[in-house]
Structure 1
Amino acid sequence: MSKNLIPKIAKMLGVEIGEEFKIDIRSNDIFQITESGIWMKKDVNKDEWVEMPFEFMMLCNGDANIVKLPWKPKEGTEVYTFSFTTHEYNSRFCPHKGVWYVTKWNWAGFPWQIAALDKGWVFSTKQEAEAALPAVAAEMGVDYEL
């Protein structure tokens, strides 16, 4: 019996098995590749999927392209973002000056976490957060530590 090639095809297409994405020729639909093929979400509010072999063929032939969805952490996932510590600052107009640094959260979907995600300040790795911090700190006009 031959080996299942779908996981390799998914990787070649730039997605993980089970990752949700869109396809440019069907921009309103959500898809995912599993080890048994490509599936389209039947209803965005339910976990019902229907197999779509034609779209799989279109992707493999290069007649369609995957459109990645914005990354969204799953509940309980460790993510990285920014926080700050205050140090006494000798100014009557700004008694505390914050120093930003990278910190770890457990994702729970709190409103303040969603706001940080929407701002682009939530990362899947510490390295990604550390790489982004200098530009964010410059934009915000704050000091930072790595």
Structure 2
Amino acid sequence: MSKNYMPEVARMLGVEIGEPFDVFDDEGAPIWLLHYLLCGKNTLQKRPWRPKEGDSFFYVLTNGEIQKYVFEIDNIHTLMLFSFGNCFPTEEAAEAAVPEMMAKFEEIKKGVRE
């Protein structure tokens, strides 16, 4: 029986088995030929994380604190957080995004104050 090398290939490419990804050529155009990826002629780009109904996620409050919440597809609050880019799979990812989110909040506040 031959060995399955796909877990090792996935690890080398930085993806998990079953995780969706896209392959792009040197000019950023999507391609579908795995051969070019495996030969090193093209690059792999992981798709951004998207919560599913019932998933827990973390977001940044306007004071910089981190809050945990459950994603609901019919909840305006969770949809706004997601569309604003303030929806993270882990607390660590949310903490890393605090400076960026605080800058976004300040930009919005500036526009409202004018």
In the superposition, the TM-score normalised over structure 1's length comes to: 0.57
Report the Cα offset of residue 81 of structure 1: 0.5
Partner of 1:58: 36
Q: Deviations over 1:41-77 (max 9, x none)?
A: xxxxxxxxxxxxxx22221111222222222122222
Partner of 2:48: 70
CA contact under 8 A between 2:66 and 2:94: conserved in structure 1? yes
The whole-number CA distance in structure 2 between the counterparts of 1:28 and 1:65 is 10
Give structure 1 stretches of 5+ with no counterpart: 30-54, 85-98
Report the Cα offset of residue 100 of structure 1: 4.5
The answer as to 2:102 corresponding to 1:137 is: yes
1:4-83 equivalent positions in 2, closer than 5 A: 4-25=4-25, 27=30, 55-83=33-61
Give the direction of change, closer, same or farther, for the CA distance of 1:74–1:8 in structure 2 (3 Å limit). farther
Report the Cα offset of residue 101 of structure 1: 1.7
Counterpart residue type for residue 89 of structure 2 = S
CA contact under 8 A between 2:64 and 2:102: conserved in structure 1? yes
The answer as to 2:108 corresponding to 1:105 is: no
Structure with bigger helix share is 2
Give the direction of change, closer, same or farther, for the CA distance of 1:138–1:56 in structure 2 (3 Å limit). closer
**Runs (4+) off by over 6 Å:** none
Say which one has the larger Rg: 1
Counterpart residue type for residue 105 of structure 1 = Y
Give the direction of change, closer, same or farther, for the CA distance of 1:23–1:139 in structure 2 (3 Å limit). closer
The percentage of aligned residue pairs carrying the same residue is: 33
CA contact under 8 A between 2:60 and 2:101: conserved in structure 1? no
Give the 3-state SS of the residue equivalent to 1:140 in structure 2.
helix
Give the 3-state SS of the residue equivalent to 1:63 in structure 2.
coil
The whole-number CA distance in structure 1 between the counterparts of 2:24 and 2:103 is 36
Report the Cα offset of residue 118 of structure 1: 2.5
Give structure 2 stretches of 5+ with no counterpart: 110-114
When the two structures are aligned, how many residues end up with a matched partner?
103
In the superposition, the TM-score normalised over structure 2's length comes to: 0.70
